[in-house]
Chains A and B, each alone.
Chain A
């Protein structure tokens, strides 16, 4: 689990890497031993593909943002390495007009590789800002454009690249020891990233782009971190590729190749390192088998591999879009095996003093007044309920408090800290956890992981506090039995309780619950009262809950605010509000 000690996580990453590396190595030896020298070339190709695809997995697999552009950075690395490594005398002949005095540069293989990686990282750091900010389809389009900008630039900056012909005379690396080292390193990085805090945050943004910020995870930083790590891997792959082949040219870095690598990533299953490895091996092997069906005389050796690739990709997309392995993963298996629940601790909840207050909150959409002069005050440890009929402005008010909607007027404070206009992630980090009316769990992650991710955020932002006891939270939510199941497989009541536990794991000063009994029967709703109170008490949080269900609100709240048509119509103890005729009128309407 993500909150396991560093050594445990490192150990797991190393073990998973060792197993995969040994299996790959044994397979490669067996394959090479049973055939000619061409087989060694194919193994080298496979190893380079592995490093590239692991690079893609770190970004695409963890963030869910599709990128065509990674190959462009591998290409930049390849050219950077080539220019650094080609001997001065050769450069004087093949690149007589090379700018920036690069003609004088000559580095050994190690230094040239480092140069290549740095080139990829430098350009990647710049472009990554745009990609990480955009997300979604827009990010994909940016990466596509980047692929073509780099392609056109390489083809045309002939003084530096020799254009479409490419660079040759790069000193070759002998043997495949370097490649194996690179693959092991890439496996270690990919596994380690998946086990790391930034990795878990990236995965959270992939699973839900709204829920992750509500836990204090910034979309940009989560994606950007994964992007930078992936740049190192694709840069390494580009730098090694040019030194293994001894030359580089633009044909090795086209959109076709980018699609081939993506197919390797998704056929096995992009969400896991094991899936990426399996897919790379399958597609590399399959492509080779089908290549042998072609007739080299007709210059059409590519036709059957293309056919294979198209069929394989189409079949997986139609039948099993999560990839052949889905979420099955060596690392995940080790995680379940090595997780030892920490002994229950007597956690002393720090005393809370801050109040959550909102004053005069107004929201307008165009000419429509959704909320006018709404206010609420929640004292530490108190439970405040907001009720109102459909369309009363409850959700709008809630969204202002959680940073989803910016208020047109009014102010929100947590203690002395102003939260007006803060982003959802800032609100969460300030100490306000929330749940969603329409559940937003990290569906593919195990139940325990859902809660652990939230606990990780707290660990980062409030180091002074003792860690949240995840086991105890799961127990209080009645989820201890199902802790290893993917969250999406839970029944509805359990999903609701998991969301509550996840919000509580932030150890917030206030828990904001959006319609926690929506879709529940009356009995389940009543049971929820005790669970909310128990979990809030565990982490010492005050609670603000909105719900249409007056029975639930009456039982759970110390204080109730009634909203109708965007304004407060009643306020007081649950009994006072319930007896207020204005409330009944708001719920039932008035006679015409």
Chain B
């Protein structure tokens, strides 16, 4: 579904990604973990078209989409739940979802709004509330629901549990499990590395812009040197 080859991204003088290559296969859940500042968010933002890579290619379902703008990538079936959610706080829950369905036909939009109500009952109860009044957990669910409005072939999630209370972290992980059972293809960046890797089919560890480890999720999670790889204490 997604093939990233030799991706390098710079912000001004900073090189945040150094030739990173990874892939996400159809129907797979892949976790991308690593310490703060490793370049995880940069990678997702580059794939989603918010940043332009300096070198490297991004292929989505076989087609080269390197350098395309975010809106056209949404049309090609990619959706990103951005870091810190970035829901539209002045818009109601319904308006957030409608806006996220902007690329769909009116009929599809209606169907998916109904699906969102079914999948996220808590949002249904706050349908006409301005999103700024949602709690953290509700806002995160809205952010995911919003991404699903374009019925993406590939869903990117950036730190979906950041800043949430433990109980709500459970809710989000349950949601990820549900999406996985629906057969969705997902690339998730998560600070809760062990738990994300256990859920995922495969995982990658990113550190200072380089991939330092990869493998089946459960195997990575169980590796004794994961912490060392994470914080740069390994050999």
Task: Give A residues with C-beta under 8 Å from B.
Answer: 368, 389-391, 490-492, 495, 515, 518-522, 525, 548-552, 554, 578, 584, 587-592
Contacts and interface: CB of A to CB of B under 8 A. Distances in A.
Nearest to A521: B208
B196 A389 contact: no
Contacts of A515: 37
Contacts of A522: 208, 232
11 contacts: A368-B163, A389-B35, A390-B36, A390-B191, A492-B15, A522-B232, A587-B35, A589-B193, A590-B192, A591-B221, A592-B199
A252 to B, nearest CB: 45
Contact of B198 (A389, A391, A591): A591
Contact of A390 (B159, B170, B196): B159
B223 to A, nearest CB: 10
B226 interface: yes
Contact of B13 (A491, A552, A587, A589): A491
B162 A391 contact: yes
Given A519-B37, A521-B208, A592 B231 contact: no
Given A548-B36, A587-B227, 12 more contacts: A368-B136, A389-B191, A390-B162, A492-B14, A548-B231, A549-B35, A549-B232, A587-B231, A589-B190, A589-B192, A590-B194, A592-B198
A490 B35 contact: no
Nearest to B33: A588
Kindly state the interface size class of chain B when it binds its partner. Answer: 20 to 34
Contacts of A518: 37
B13 A492 contact: yes
A520 B159 contact: no
**Which 5 A-B pairs have CB atoms at the shortest separation, nearest pair first?**
A589-B192, A550-B231, A492-B13, A551-B232, A548-B36
Contacts of A550: 231-233
Contacts of B35: 389-390, 548-549, 587
B205 to A, nearest CB: 10
Interface residues of chain B: helix, strand, loop or mixed (majority): mixed
A391 B195 contact: no
B47 interface: no
Interface string B190-221: 11111110110000000011000000000001
Nearest to A584: B227
B80 to A, nearest CB: 18
Contacts of B36: 389-390, 548
Nearest to B198: A591
Nearest to A551: B232
Contacts of B18: 521
B194 A588 contact: yes
Nearest to A387: B231
Contacts of B233: 550-551, 554, 578
A478 to B, nearest CB: 15
A520 B199 CA distance: 31
B195 to A, nearest CB: 4
Contact of A592 (B12, B14, B195): B195
